[in-house]
Amino acid sequence: MSDPIKPDVNLDLKGLLCPMPVVKLQLAVKKMAAGQIIEGVATDPGVMADIPAWARTSGNELVSIEQQGKEYHFVVRKTT
């Protein structure tokens, strides 16, 4: 399963618990330009609900989020 989108930024959120995954994600997204892609990995199961909610509230596009074993991989495109 290969990802056709090449990320501009990679973010390691492993080991972090609420609220740190969304906080670190926002701090990383803030430094990016509109249209850029960020790919992240987390281990907190809470991100499956939290990152989609963060994307809806902040107005960024969640391209994908999926569980791979004990990790949660996601791709976000900065829209604003």
Partner 1 sequence: MEKDNKLSMVVFSGDMDKVMAAFIIATGAAASGMDVTMFFTFWGLKAIQKDSSLTGKGLFGRMLGLMNRGGIDTIGPSRFNFGGMGRWMMKTMMKQKNVASLPELRDMAIELGVKMMPCQMSMDVLEVGADKMLPATTPPVGVAAFVEEAVHSKATLFI
Q: Considering the complex, state which of residue 3 and residue 49 has its C-beta at the smaller distance from partner 1.
A: 49
| Active-site residue (options: 5, 18, 20, 23) | 18
Q: Considering the complex, state which of residue 4 and residue 15 has its C-beta at the smaller distance from partner 1.
A: 15
Where do contacts with partner 1 occur on this chain (CB under 8 A)? 15-20, 22-23, 25-27, 53-54, 57-59
Site of tokens 């281990």: 43
* 21: three-class secondary structure by DSSP: helix
18 in catalytic set: yes
Q: Considering the complex, state which of residue 59 and residue 69 has its C-beta at the smaller distance from partner 1.
A: 59
Helix or strand run (H / E) with residue 24: helix 20-30
The beta strands (E) that lie in the chain are given as 9-13, 37-42, 61-68, 71-77
Tell me the two tokens of residue 63. Answer: 């391209």
**Residue 21 CB, nearest distance to partner 1 (Å)?**
9
- Give catalytic residue positions: 18
